[in-house]
Amino acid sequence: MKKDNIGTNAGLVWRTLFYKGTKATFNELIEDTGLNAIDLSSAIGWLAREDKVEFFLENGEEFIDVYRDSYF
């Protein structure tokens, strides 16, 4: 894996979640993005560090979604 690819993959993951319009599981993101587990994990870490995603636990299952600011 190249370090430059992590940022590119982070953009792919963010766009995938944003345009999907709803949260997704890790496995759903693997299917939707075509990334392998290591590349997806690195991309999610990048997005988490930049506060671009948030994590949810519902019924024992973990979900990821883009952070959507609401000012009203």
Instruction: Identify which of 16, 6, 17 has the alpha carbon closest to the alpha carbon of residue 68.
Output: 17
Read off the CATH number of the domain in which 14 is found. 1.10.10.10
Q: Is residue 71 part of a domain?
A: no
Number of structural domains the chain divides into = 1
Domain that holds residue 45: 3-66
Tens digit of pLDDT at every position of the chain (72 positions)? 778 899 999 999 999 999 999 999 999 999 999 999 999 999 999 999 999 999 999 999 999 999 877 655
Q: So what's the pLDDT on residue 72?
A: 57
The answer to whether the pTM exceeds 0.85 is yes
Q: Is residue 27 part of a domain?
A: yes
Q: So what's the pLDDT on residue 70?
A: 60
Q: So what's the pLDDT on residue 71?
A: 59
Q: Is residue 16 part of a domain?
A: yes
Q: Is residue 35 part of a domain?
A: yes
Q: So what's the pLDDT on residue 63?
A: 97
